[in-house]
C-alpha cells in the first residue's frame, strides 16, 4: 500500500536539465518532497483538467467567454507566496500515474510513484491558476501542445505574472 502524503503548498517549475516539470511540495508539517512530472503524463492530466473545468459551462451560450472571464478572475486572485524549497536529502518521486477526482468544489490529484502517493486537493480557482502556470511552463520548455483551450491562451496573454507557485 503506497504512503499517502497530502500536499498543503507547492512550487512548480520547469527543469531544463531534466526536461521535466519539478514540483516541490510540502505537507502541513512542512515535510518536503520533490515530485517529477513528464510531459507525456502532464498532457493527459491537463486534457482531463480542462475537460472537468469546461463542464461548468457545457451547453451554455458564450461558453468560451464565460470560461475566459472566470480564468481571468482566477489569475487576478492568485496571491504571491514564498516558494516551497526542497530540503537537502528530501525524497524525490517520479510520478507514473495520476488519478483525477472531480467534484463541484474542487479537483483532487492523486500522484503515484511506484510505492508512494501524494494527494493534491485544489479548489477550482486554484486548479485554474495551476493550469495557467502550466501553460506558461510549457511555453518556457518549448513543448508543443495543441490542446490548450482558447479561453486559457487568451487569459494568459492578457496578464503574465512571474508567479509560478
Cα dihedral across residues 101, 102, 104, 105: positive or negative: positive
Q: Is 165 within the bounds of a domain?
A: no
Q: Is 81 within the bounds of a domain?
A: yes
- The 8-class DSSP code of residue 108 comes to E
Q: For the chain, what percentages of helix, strand and coil (3-state, to nearest 5) are there?
A: 35, 30, 35
Cα distances (Å, whole numbers) of residue 155 to 7, 69, 102, 108, 110: 27, 8, 23, 23, 27
Question: How many other CB atoms are there within 10 angstroms of residue 88's CB atom?
Answer: 5
Q: Is 164 within the bounds of a domain?
A: no
Global pTM reads 0.87
Find cell 451547453 and name the residue: 59
**Kind plus residue range of the DSSP H or E element containing 151:** helix 150-158
pLDDT tens digits, 51-63:
999 988 777 777 7
Q: Is 163 within the bounds of a domain?
A: no
Residue 163: what pLDDT? Answer: 45
Give dist(CA 75, CA 96) in Å, integer: 29
**Which residues span the domain enclosing 80?**
3-158
H helix runs in 34-149, sequence order: 39-54, 63-77, 124-141
Domain count, the chain: 1
Q: From first to last of its 165 residues, what are the pLDDT tens digits of the chain?
A: 456 799 999 999 999 999 999 999 999 999 999 999 999 999 999 999 999 999 887 777 777 788 888 888 888 888 888 999 999 999 999 999 999 999 999 999 999 999 899 999 999 999 999 999 999 999 999 998 888 998 888 766 654 444 455
pLDDT tens digits, 136-159:
999 999 998 888 998 888 766 654
Amino acid at each position: 500500500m503506497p504512503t499517502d502524503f497530502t500536499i498543503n503548498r507547492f512550487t512548480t517549475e520547469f527543469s531544463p536539465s531534466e526536461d521535466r516539470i519539478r514540483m516541490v511540495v510540502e505537507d502541513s508539517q512542512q515535510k518536503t518532497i520533490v515530485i517529477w512530472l513528464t510531459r507525456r503524463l502532464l498532457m493527459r492530466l491537463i486534457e482531463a483538467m480542462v475537460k472537468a473545468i469546461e463542464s461548468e459551462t457545457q451547453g451554455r451560450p458564450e461558453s468560451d467567454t464565460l470560461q475566459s472571464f472566470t480564468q481571468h478572475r482566477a489569475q487576478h486572485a492568485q496571491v504571491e507566496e514564498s516558494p516551497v524549497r526542497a530540503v537537502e536529502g528530501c525524497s524525490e518521486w517520479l510520478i507514473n500515474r495520476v488519478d483525477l477526482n472531480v467534484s463541484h468544489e474542487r479537483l483532487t490529484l492523486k500522484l503515484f510513484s511506484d510505492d508512494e502517493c501524494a494527494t493534491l486537493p485544489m479548489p477550482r480557482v486554484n486548479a485554474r491558476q495551476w493550469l495557467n502556470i502550466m501553460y506558461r511552463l510549457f511555453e518556457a520548455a518549448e513543448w508543443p501542445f495543441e490542446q490548450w483551450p482558447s479561453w486559457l491562451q487568451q487569459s494568459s496573454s492578457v496578464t503574465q505574472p512571474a508567479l509560478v507557485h
